Amino acid sequence: MNAATTYSPPYHRRHHQHHHFQLPPPQSQPSIVSIPTQKSILDLLNSKPATFSLQSLAQIHALALKTGHFHDHFVSGTLLKCYANPRFHNLDSAIQLFRNVPSPNVFVHNVLIKACLDNGEPLQAVWLYYELMMNDAKPNKFTYPTLLKACGDGGIVAEGKQVHCHVVKLGFAGDGHVKSAGIRMYGYFGMAADARKMLDDEDDDDAVCWNAMIDGYFRGRRNVGSWNAMVSGLARRGKIEDARNLFDEMPDRDEISWSVVIDGYIKSGFYKEALEVFNTMQSERIRPGKFVLTSVLAACAHLGALDHGRWVHAYVRRKKKSIVMDAVLGTALLDMYAKCGRLDMAWEVFESMKEKEVFSWNAMIKGLAMHGRADDAVELFFEMQRRKFRPNGITFIGVLNACAHSGAVEQALKLFNSMENVYNIEPEVEHYGCLVDCLGRSGRLEEAEELVNSMPIEPNPAVYGSLLGACRIHGNAELGERIGRLLLELEPNNSGRYALLSNIYAKAERWDDVAEVRKLMKERGVKTNPGSSMIELGGCVHEFKMGEGCHPKMKEIYSTLKVMIERLEMEGYVPNTSQVLFNIEEEEKETALQYHSEKLAIAFGFISTKPGETIRVVKNLRVCDDCHSAIKLISRVYGREIALRDRVRYHHFRDGTCSCKDFW
């Protein structure tokens, strides 16, 4: 540290007259110890320091001097710490005591530096650090947390930066507590960029550092930009609850504040919460801009929240003078419509976009693929080239997926082979996965396995997962077992792999193997991902899970579902009990199937909508064979169109048929 600072040593200013340090004479012979050893004196000092009076402390001090243990740095340092207790308001005595310690080491220096800080003298603490460096008493990792805090409390920016340089030079920059104090210091200075840089360098995601960062910004300039930076940093690290709490405490918010927390919820997978924040934003009459709307559309797309998405579209139309429908916003809008089951509206938005980028074409191709429109997706693939847009790797993922969902194997092979030959795009593992999926779904399992074995790059779990899914569809237990066992080793914590292998065993009625897989899951602590289905009605997203009865209309839903199943049975419906992964009685299997989440959501749709209205449901998992058959029959018996999006694709049920043509 540069000795030529802009301030003089604080205690030199305050103590321009010399004060001789005198101990009060002990009133009686100390009887508090019988053997005055170093340990016994330390035990006395550390026993109940909060109850010491200055008089009793002076007695122990006298004993340390008399026995010669005062020269021990642990004794003198601990004694100093007791004198510096803020309740005594006796920092002067602690400093004079320090001056009498022979050759004080780093421990003694650290004690007094902290004592100065605790007694509201941060500049004095910094000066003591200067003395420490001048006396060649090398600092350690315990020196810097206190020192950096002192710089922050004292508001001395230049010295704080110098101390930070010392931290880096001496190799303490990786210590969590040192880094925590540095983040806090820059926060006190209001230097958001420097604080964020220290945060970005944090690899271990230490909670202490985060607490320091928050504290620093609270005591910093408190401007909206600093708050936004904190909320963004927390959200980016996945600490969305902390980000939301900080957001709720903000004295002022701008559009960026709302955008940051909404985007944070979306990236953490909390889409309903993102829409709730947006609704609060609306109630506070905050006008959303393009960035907020783009994030909200992403949440709508994931939830299938069509009403919310339509509101955003209408708002953009009303504010067309201030909100420009560029390629980013337009693509988010068409993606929302496609994922909410309105492919017609997605196409309308796409056609009306004045600005398109490659990612806009990719989103439309992906939307067509999701709805099983392979021919249209391939046609759009060639149309984008006629419009001078060059396809990229993501384009091929979209068009290959379209082929997989419609069984267009030859078209997929042709497109895959053209990647390198025509477009000079080297296929990546995702492209091989799409082709394996296409071959497998079409029943060409041997070719799919051969492709996996001949791949020029290492297959990832997704590739093997596509092959395993094909084995389930076509009942190939032998290949499924081999691939499934491999996946359980590659992804031991992926519950979906266990469920798929169990499904293959259950379909083959190999119940002992089903039990073995479930036992393995239990031993490894793997939790299954419960099936859930969502339906948006009146701008509110309702979520249903099998076995949960928390919905206020649950009794009515169960009653409606019972009547619905009875009517389906009169029409010839027989539950497909091969979907139940337990070796239980057939009646119990039928009951389990009856309460699958998509059936609950549809029953709720029936009691909450007018006759003839389309019911739109979004499911987080692949729809099972039994539910698929039942919903086809429901659409015919009740004369209702039902749009169901599962993890794989969209199913449009109408008049007893499905748009997937039973191929999914």
What CATH number does the domain containing 463 carry? 1.25.40
- Of 147-156, 201-210, 388-397, the poorest mean pLDDT is in 201-210
Q: Within a domain: residue 136?
A: yes
Q: Are residues 464 and 501 in the same domain?
A: yes
Distance between CA 614 and CA 168 in Å, rounded? 64
Q: Residue 197 has which token pair? A: 């840089």
CA distances from 95 to 58, 104, 484 (A): 15, 12, 71
- Considering 479, 511, 529, which residue would you say is the last residue of a domain? 529
Using DSSP, state whether 653 is helix, strand or coil. Answer: strand
Does residue 508 have a pLDDT over 80?
Answer: yes
Please, are residues 309 and 337 in contact by the beta-carbon 8 Å criterion? yes
Q: Are residues 511 and 536 in the same domain?
A: no
Q: Within a domain: residue 483?
A: yes
Banded pLDDT at 64 (limits 50, 70, 90): low
Q: At what angle do helices 327-339 and 306-318 cross, to 10 degrees?
A: 150
Looking at residue 209, what is its pLDDT?
56
- What DSSP state is assigned to residue 51? G
Does residue 279 have a pLDDT over 60?
Answer: yes
Q: 137-154 pLDDT, tens per residue?
A: 789 988 999 999 899 888
441-444-449 Cα angle (round to 5): 100
Q: Are residues 26 and 168 in the same domain?
A: yes
Please, are residues 356 and 363 in contact by the beta-carbon 8 Å criterion? no
Q: Are residues 553 and 492 in the same domain?
A: no
CA 423 remoteness from chain centre? 37
Q: Are residues 143 and 46 in the same domain?
A: yes
Per cent of the chain over pLDDT 90 is 47
Q: Residue 461 has which token pair? A: 């779990």
Q: Give the mean pLDDT of 55-77.
A: 69
Q: Are residues 108 and 162 in the same domain?
A: yes
Q: Give the mean pLDDT of 296-311.
A: 94
Q: Are residues 18 and 161 in the same domain?
A: yes
Please, are residues 407 and 418 in contact by the beta-carbon 8 Å criterion? no
Does residue 528 have a pLDDT over 60?
Answer: yes
Query: 84-99 as b/e, with b when 16 or more CB fall inside 10 Å?
Result: bbeebebbebbbbbbe
Q: Within a domain: residue 221?
A: no
Q: Are residues 155 and 49 in the same domain?
A: yes
Number of structural domains (the chain) is: 3
Looking at residue 206, what is its pLDDT?
52
Q: 454-504 pLDDT, tens per residue?
A: 999 999 999 999 999 999 889 899 999 999 999 999 999 999 899 889 889
**Of the candidates 624, 598, 647, the residue with the CA atom closest to the CA atom of residue 503:** 624
**Of the candidates 44, 34, 32, the residue with the CA atom closest to the CA atom of residue 74:** 44
State the amino acid at position 245 in one-letter form. Answer: N
Residue 536: beta bridge partners? 541
Residue 74 CB contacts under 8 Å (≥ 6 apart), including other chains: 38, 42, 107
Q: Return the C-alpha torsion angle 120, 124, 125, 130, nearest 10.
A: 170
Q: Are residues 200 and 63 in the same domain?
A: yes
Q: Are residues 116 and 35 in the same domain?
A: yes
What is the strand order of the sheet 532-537 is part of?
Answer: 540-545, 532-537, 615-619, 642-645, 650-654, 657-658
**Of the candidates 90, 148, 64, 162, the residue with the CA atom closest to the CA atom of residue 114:** 148
* CA-CA-CA-CA torsion sign (95, 99, 101, 103): positive
Q: Within a domain: residue 246?
A: no
Q: Within a domain: residue 101?
A: yes
Q: Are residues 525 and 555 in the same domain?
A: no
Q: Within a domain: residue 311?
A: no
Domain that holds residue 450: 428-529
Q: State the chain's mean pLDDT as an integer.
A: 83
Looking at residue 527, what is its pLDDT?
86
Q: Within a domain: residue 399?
A: no
Q: Are residues 536 and 478 in the same domain?
A: no
Helices (H), ranges, 319-428: 327-339, 343-352, 358-370, 374-386, 393-406, 409-421
Q: Give the mean pLDDT of 577-605.
A: 67
- Considering 168, 183, 215, which residue would you say is the last residue of a domain? 215
- What DSSP state is assigned to residue 121? -
Would you tell me how many other CB atoms lie within 10 Å of the CB of residue 579? 18
Residue found by looking up tokens 């230097």 in the block:
191
Residue 390 or residue 212, greater confidence? 390
Please, are residues 303 and 534 in contact by the beta-carbon 8 Å criterion? yes
358-363-368 Cα angle (round to 5): 125
Q: Within a domain: residue 366?
A: no
- Considering 192, 215, 238, which residue would you say is the last residue of a domain? 215
**Of the candidates 571, 568, 576, the residue with the CA atom closest to the CA atom of residue 593:** 576
